[in-house]
Amino acid sequence: MLNKLLRIAAITVTLLCGWPSPAAAATRIVDKANGPGTFSTTIQACLNAMAPGDVCQVKNGTYNEMLTLNVGGTSVNRKTIENFPGHSPIVDGTG
């Protein structure tokens, strides 16, 4: 009887507290002008800091960079590189 009560208590605590969740994905902003909230002024620095599930948003500007993404995401937690909403950045690849 005591074992059954302990199992019920453990299940109740798990349901109330939840399972440990994975770290939240980060959204990093790249801004050539280094405005508020900027993570970096280069896309490569953003790529180097990314973990699976992270998003790198790039603001307007011409980025003279040859980009390398050393580690990919997973099928569930992809790494995403996208323009910041309303922006149209240019990557010319001249590095």
pLDDT at residue 11 is higher than 60: no
pTM: 0.72
Of residues 44 and 73, the one with the higher pLDDT is: 44
Which tens digit of pLDDT belongs to each residue from 21-64?
456 789 999 999 999 999 999 999 999 999 999 999 999 999 99
d(C-alpha 45, C-alpha 35), whole Å: 16
Of residues 69 and 17, the one with the higher pLDDT is: 69
**Under a CB-based contact definition with an 8 Å cutoff, are residues 73 and 52 in contact?**
yes
Mean pLDDT (the chain, rounded) = 81
| Residue matched to tokens 């603001």 | 59
